Structure 1
Amino acid sequence: MNDLSPWAASVEEIFDANTARELYTHLLGSYKIKVYCITNTLWLRIECPGGMLAIVRAAYTPTGSFKITLREKTTEGFRVRLKFATGFFETTISFPGGEFPMVRYTTSMKTLEGLYIPFSPRDLVITDNKGARNTSKGRIQITQTGARSGLQYLSLDEPASGSLLYFQNLTALNEYCQLTGTSAGGTVGGKWPEIGFALPSSIEKSIPKGKELILSDAILALSPELPVKNAGLAKQFLDMLAAVYLHLPKPDTQMHDWPGILQKGLKDLDSPACWLHRKGQDYLNAYVCDYSTPPELMVQMAVLLPLVDYKMWSGEDMPVINTIRKGMPTFYDQKLKTVTRFLPSMEGDLSQEEEQLKPKVMDAWYLHHPMLNLCRMALHGDDVAKDLFLKSLPFTIKVAHHFNYRWPVFYNMETLEVIKAETSPEKGGEKDVAGLYALVLLHAWQLTKEKKYLKEAEKAAKTLEEKGFDLFYQGNNTAFSAKALLQLYLETGNEKYLDLSYLCIAGIMKNVQLWECNYGYAKHYNTFFGVFPLNDAPYTAAYEEQEIFAALHDYLIQAQTVDLRPSVKLLLAEFIRFLVQRAMFYYPPNLPAEMLSEEVKMGEVDKNLWIALEDIYDGWEKSGQVGQEVYGAGVAFGIVPRHYHQVKDQQVLIYCDYPVSGFRSKGRKATFTTGGDRRLSCRMVIVVQDDKKMPHFKVDAGGSASGEVTGVHRADRQIEFTVPGNQYIEITW
């Protein structure tokens, strides 16, 4: 048991007295909701069918007592207004409905004078059915880290009472954070049984007199089911998160000129700031103007693959592709019989200031990522990539066997001695590398048709089950793991692999930012549905997000014959839609100069260069502190081929911000199916590329009430439509 604060310790005494009168009672399936106002606190008491209680502090003042000035039933639930010494609280309680029983409470405050709030207690205490908090037992499976979603996913173990997803809509706190200079990051947390949300402390800046603003907007999703295995927990978490997601406010999206951004990025990729010349060969820098770090194979391949994707889509000749390809063989180490992270001929130039910046030290995933991309190139018919891949594959397998598919963070490539075993004490190494390795072996099987590689992939994949929600090490590698596991399911029919792919998706979804930060510098960019690259990273990153985006696109394509969970289809389509919206803000020309960091860790930041920043932060921090990452240059080259669909023999492009499947066109007709969920919609735009008279486009979405969807003509010769998710679309003209 954990020690408690006085605010949590008082809960048992308050409810044990059994003298408080209920203001409101509501039956929600097998749950009973009761509302009390006891001296200085408005309480919601949620009685779970197994006997446990979730007791919520919906409004609180540290001194005196509340005076109830309004209490009324509403069509949605209940509303109460409370007067205290320096203002008013108003709390509304509603029951959104859906797949799970849900309770939503929103509390706003109006001040009667300028007000500081230096402390707020957490708003959720879990107790047994008598209000005793020392006899309740449970597990916090997931909790907010930094600026990620303000959520906690809980198992209510003893007495066995199911599961609970607590979600604080942090978007509602923007005005409070702007006024007080505070951050919504890290506001949901605590230790069992005193958990939930605590309003960030306002110490230096006060809330002005007469101001009305929201202090809390929380949704609790409830389930009597209590999964015990990791796969069951992952599926329940995804289902509950998707159910809550339907009720969250979401920012609007726009169609950005991604083809134009792509051309600017392609031009600026030729900048000398992006290249290093060595022994007659040009190599991409990792960061703009970073000439001190030797070239890395991962960097070359991370840019090359999106360029190849775009070339296959456009047919456009890009000399930069051949420049990068020519340098690939120089990363092969003849002694080790494998490709390496850094250019072998320049390892002596490493600064050795950090563990990974020493000769022959490998960061575990840095071997497998280039191997994956080399094999993808080989599958496209590149003989140079095929030769490098097959020559390096035995070493890759040797390393996997040496570490028993459980990789450390850093190891010596010559001796396989562990240099750094864990990311932090008791957290283990790079846990999702097993899935990345499995995908490499699956591609090797596709390339060679040798079944031993399929068996090897299975051995690695099975080790992921033990990792649970801690599987996520780096977002793009977790997404690659999901692809590998889905492919194993398709090849073997073993449901375990499909469930493990859901575990990977859950790992990604616990690391997203499901709120729109709109204070400080964040007024200039979108944050909604950003994915953080690492479990503890304080920023979202262009390169990892682009690769997660591309991998999850591929996952959905692979899964067309699979009965995917609706929650997975919904969440992945929405992530993709908002990535297409947000990613433009990684480019410095789209940001005001004052929000770019003056101090840069790697190289320099050129605010006029269309090369993506690595790092976007919470609204109070400047961005670009790490640098302008050349290896993030693939963002636009990944988006355009996946979201602009070409109509054969017509000067027409069809843009959709959802992923689509089955796109076909013939003559003056195009058909496809949108991804996602029919309860949500996406943006579709028809782009006419010539100057001829605009034809009449008829759009039929089978799920709409009338069938035909009406579009809006834009000034730029484009017609915009809103169409449902998971719907067959037919366009004729």
Structure 2
Amino acid sequence: MLQKSPWAIGAITSFKDKDRNVRYTKSYEGYKFELINTFDSVWIMFHPTKTVLIGFRLVYAAGGSLEINSLTEHANEIICSARCATGVFSSRVKWSRSAEGEPLLRYTTTLKPAEDVSIPFWPRDVYIAGTGKLNEVNGKVHVSQEGTRSGQLYFRMTKPNAGSILYLQNLTALNDYCEQTKTSCANVVGGNWPELGLSLPPTTEHPILAGKEITISDAIVVFSKDASQEESAMSRQFLNMLADAYLSLPLPATKYHDWPKILSLGLRDLIDSHACWSYVNGHAYFNAYTCDFVTPPEIMVQLAIILPLVDYEEWNNSKIETVDEITETLPAFYDKDLKTIMRWLPAAEDKLDGKEEQLQPKVMDSWYLHHPLLNLSRLALKGVAVAKRLFLDSLPYAIKVAHHFKYEWPVFYQMETLDVIKEETEPGKGGEKDVAGIYAHVMLQAFELTGSRKYLAEAEKAAQTLKGKGFSLLYQANNTAFSAGALVRLYKLTGKKVYLDLCYLCLANIFKNVRLWNCSYGYGRHYPSFFALFPLSNAPYTAVYEEQEVFCAFHDFLNETNGMNILPSATLLITEYIRFLVYRAAYYYPPMLPKDMLAEKPKTGEIDPKLWIALEDMHDGWEKCGSVGQEVYGAGNAFGILPRHYVKVPDEQFMIYADYPVLDIKKSRNKISFTVIGDKKMQCNLAIVSAGTKPPPVKVTAQNTALKNGRRKGGSQFYTINGMSQIVVSWKSSVRKKAK
């Protein structure tokens, strides 16, 4: 039997009242909607079937005596005004269509209090009820808000089968409420079946002020007749419905950052600042965090910095001496007895303090073995001999571990005995579930490097174990993104649809773990956070390193799927994440932030507010940032962005920039053409970035249509273009021909 609160019992009882006060009725896309006024609420009633009723509460008046003052209709929109002792509520309800032709409902409610008012409790706004002889409706919630992630719910009505719903609360609209009341939007969307949705954060010391209209809800609801419990169908449906909801969100503006300048500042501080370096036996290693001279060097840290630097070297056709210096130290991480690379530098293992499980010699965090192997394979494929040797020499050990754990990795294990140190992330939730995906990626790299099909077979065996993980697959976001790319490669190599299905499952897990709202209360007003990605499924903050790696993995994914018929919703969400990351990532750097919002005593090392080394962590607006530390291994941030979003123009004093990914770049003497990836319904920024003070004399065409001169900023010219645009930039050469 379902557990109901008094508010649920009262609401559902009123739904079934034959004499309920129906004030408005609407038929839309074959469904019936009603607006009803009960003693204490105004509802939009939705009838997905004859035996199921869903109520969406627009207005709640504690104490009752709620009366509707006015109700006006405009096409597929109504505006309702209601009054009670608390004040005046105004609700705007709008109907539109999803990409699948199903109804999409958006309702926004404001309150203008009659006097200062505190809200110690607020009931949720979604209730599911049976009608007629049906007493209960059974269902399952697959996705709900965790911390300050999106205010989302994705659920199915299973008995009877009445379809699926994605509910997304635009929490950006609640910023004024949280600022006034000093509350947070963390965990405000959730509930227990059949009582779901938003519950306003309770207020204690700080009330809502009288006479000022304030938004208390802005919900987007996407409906679908399909309530399939098949994993692949649900992952596709979630991505499609989330994209539909996303298109209804009011998206924040972005602005251009001078990434070439940020990169040069970051490179200077990375190389010159003593805070970034430690020394063991006369050799230099990157610290994980600034001023952490106690923790031994980690191979993951060294490679996480080297790879983006190598990307930049190739793009800039230049050499950074530090890359070779660090590469030469990598063999010191190899253990000749175990025949594998190690997480910690063996020569400095005695410095581990053992305060946490992983801070002990020869204890491995499962994903930490595979991530360095993946980066070594990338260097190997670029022709770095030492990386190839370390990679190939370590593969037998990695395969041995995979076979021992049957492709189901724990959190920590002892490297010599393979005894499990910590089996599950949380009781009953299993180990690091997405490690099978990054392991498959490593095996595919080995297959590409050697041509041996035994590695392809290993990749397939590991990938198959991802089935059945559902929306709890993600352990670490960057590994899940790597998994998505590996699965696409497996699909292309084998033609087996299961791998494409599992790819979408990985993407669904990633996009349930983002923040589709902008936290601008408290310290949050100093930095943008819309479409931020959290590193773990339960992490309380977003993190620069994982974001940068997901960003790069998504670029690889788009390159890999170029020409494939993949879900439009996946392309839309991936390219929008990339667009906002290029804007947001600059605010991980302390010089971009007020000093008073930086943590005074981080968990590891120290924070230098003048150093262009990114903070690891950005939090809820009421919390200071950088509490974990200033992350040296997040230094790849700018080095990942610049080569992927700036097109160098040979022999000219300008570059071409786009904040959407670009593919199919073709260069000729006085012309460059490329395709801007993304959804045609969305827009991105294109710029001709000049090194001088005057815009260069270029002609820009999109879809064979010349663009008018865009917005000017210094010597640069900015344009707004649609996704999936064919762009051509042409110019007269500034390089004079030599006389014969």
Q: What residue in structure 1 maps to residue 722 of structure 2?
A: 724
1:710 positional shift = 2.1
- Out of 622, 625, 646, which is 1:623 matched to? 625
- Out of 458, 461, 478, which is 1:459 matched to? 461
Q: What residue in structure 2 maps to residue 655 of structure 1?
A: 657
CA distance in 1, matches of 2:197, 2:132: 20
Secondary structure of the corresponding residue to residue 528 of structure 1: coil
Q: What residue in structure 2 maps to residue 501 of structure 1?
A: 503
Secondary structure of the corresponding residue to residue 579 of structure 1: helix
1:50 positional shift = 6.4
| Residue identity in the other structure for 1:35 | L
Secondary structure of the corresponding residue to residue 436 of structure 1: helix
Q: What residue in structure 1 maps to residue 340 of structure 2?
A: 338
| Residue identity in the other structure for 2:707 | V
Q: What residue in structure 1 maps to residue 98 of structure 2?
A: 98
1:561 positional shift = 2.3
- Out of 324, 327, 335, which is 1:325 matched to? 327
| Residue identity in the other structure for 1:530 | A
1:700 positional shift = 1.9
Q: How many residues align?
A: 728
Matched, 1:602 2:607: no
Q: What residue in structure 2 maps to residue 177 of structure 1?
A: 178
Structure 1 window deviating more from structure 2 (69-78 vs 478-487): it is 69-78
Q: What residue in structure 2 maps to residue 710 of structure 1?
A: 708
1:326 positional shift = 1.3
| Residue identity in the other structure for 2:476 | Q
1:92 positional shift = 1.0
Deviations 1:115-156 (A, max 9, x none): 111110011111123496x52111101000000000100111
Give the unaligned 5+ runs of structure 1.
none
1:731 positional shift = 2.0
1:651 positional shift = 2.7
1:39 positional shift = 1.3
Deviations 1:255-307 (A, max 9, x none): 10111010101010121111111112101111101111110000000001000
CA distance in 1, matches of 2:219, 2:146: 17
CA distance in 1, matches of 2:431, 2:649: 47
CA distance in 2, matches of 1:184, 1:345: 46
Q: What residue in structure 1 maps to residue 6 of structure 2?
A: 6
Q: What residue in structure 2 maps to residue 148 of structure 1?
A: 149
Report if the CA contact (8 A) 1:31-1:48 is conserved.
yes
Q: What residue in structure 1 maps to residue 69 of structure 2?
A: 69
Q: What residue in structure 2 maps to residue 27 of structure 1?
A: 27
Secondary structure of the corresponding residue to residue 289 of structure 1: coil
CA distance in 1, matches of 2:195, 2:707: 50
TM-score (structure 1 length as normaliser) = 0.98
Secondary structure of the corresponding residue to residue 95 of structure 1: strand
Secondary structure of the corresponding residue to residue 624 of structure 1: coil
CA distance in 2, matches of 1:340, 1:403: 19
Matched, 1:371 2:373: yes
Secondary structure of the corresponding residue to residue 468 of structure 2: helix
The change in CA–CA distance for 1:439 and 1:714 in structure 2 (over 3 A counts) is: same
TM-score (structure 2 length as normaliser) = 0.97
Structure 1 window deviating more from structure 2 (17-26 vs 461-470): it is 17-26
Structure 1 window deviating more from structure 2 (98-107 vs 137-146): it is 98-107
Q: What residue in structure 2 maps to residue 83 of structure 1?
A: 83
Report if the CA contact (8 A) 2:106-2:218 is conserved.
yes
Q: What residue in structure 1 maps to residue 199 of structure 2?
A: 198
Secondary structure of the corresponding residue to residue 466 of structure 1: coil
Q: What residue in structure 1 maps to residue 390 of structure 2?
A: 388
Report if the CA contact (8 A) 1:24-1:35 is conserved.
yes
Secondary structure of the corresponding residue to residue 261 of structure 2: helix
Matched, 1:441 2:439: no
CA distance in 2, matches of 1:91, 1:695: 50
CA distance in 1, matches of 2:209, 2:629: 38
Secondary structure of the corresponding residue to residue 527 of structure 1: coil
Q: What residue in structure 1 maps to residue 737 of structure 2?
A: none
Structure 1 window deviating more from structure 2 (21-30 vs 693-702): it is 693-702
Matched, 1:18 2:18: yes
Matched, 1:425 2:427: yes
| Residue identity in the other structure for 2:720 | T
1:220 positional shift = 0.8
Q: What residue in structure 2 maps to residue 210 of structure 1?
A: 211
Q: What residue in structure 2 maps to residue 107 of structure 1?
A: 109
Report if the CA contact (8 A) 1:663-1:670 is conserved.
yes
Report if the CA contact (8 A) 1:144-1:150 is conserved.
yes
Deviations 1:661-705 (A, max 9, x none): 1111212222111111111100000012357x74433222228xx
Report if the CA contact (8 A) 1:649-1:667 is conserved.
no
| Residue identity in the other structure for 1:97 | R
1:458 positional shift = 0.5
Report if the CA contact (8 A) 1:681-1:723 is conserved.
yes
Give the unaligned 5+ runs of structure 2.
732-740
Report if the CA contact (8 A) 1:361-1:412 is conserved.
yes
| Residue identity in the other structure for 2:168 | F
CA distance in 1, matches of 2:592, 2:133: 53
Report if the CA contact (8 A) 2:692-2:715 is conserved.
no
Deviations 1:228-271 (A, max 9, x none): 21111000000000011011011111110111010101010121
Q: What residue in structure 1 maps to residue 559 of structure 2?
A: 557
CA distance in 1, matches of 2:444, 2:86: 65
CA distance in 1, matches of 2:103, 2:114: 37
CA distance in 1, matches of 2:133, 2:317: 68
CA distance in 2, matches of 1:568, 1:126: 30
Q: What residue in structure 2 maps to residue 698 of structure 1?
A: 699
Matched, 1:534 2:536: yes
Within a 5 Å distance, the mapping from 1:385-424 to structure 2 comes to 385-424=387-426
Secondary structure of the corresponding residue to residue 663 of structure 1: strand
Report if the CA contact (8 A) 1:303-1:631 is conserved.
yes
Report if the CA contact (8 A) 2:690-2:696 is conserved.
no
1:584 positional shift = 0.5
Q: What residue in structure 1 maps to residue 515 of structure 2?
A: 513
| Residue identity in the other structure for 1:310 | Y
CA distance in 1, matches of 2:706, 2:217: 41
| Residue identity in the other structure for 1:716 | G
CA distance in 2, matches of 1:515, 1:49: 32
| Residue identity in the other structure for 1:527 | S
- Out of 286, 297, 302, which is 1:295 matched to? 297
| Residue identity in the other structure for 2:264 | Q
CA distance in 1, matches of 2:378, 2:505: 25
Identity %, equivalent residues: 50
| Residue identity in the other structure for 2:448 | Q
| Residue identity in the other structure for 2:728 | E
| Residue identity in the other structure for 1:227 | S
Report if the CA contact (8 A) 2:16-2:131 is conserved.
no
CA distance in 1, matches of 2:574, 2:40: 43
1:533 positional shift = 0.2
CA distance in 2, matches of 1:68, 1:546: 50
Report if the CA contact (8 A) 1:107-1:217 is conserved.
yes
CA distance in 1, matches of 2:185, 2:76: 28
Secondary structure of the corresponding residue to residue 357 of structure 1: coil
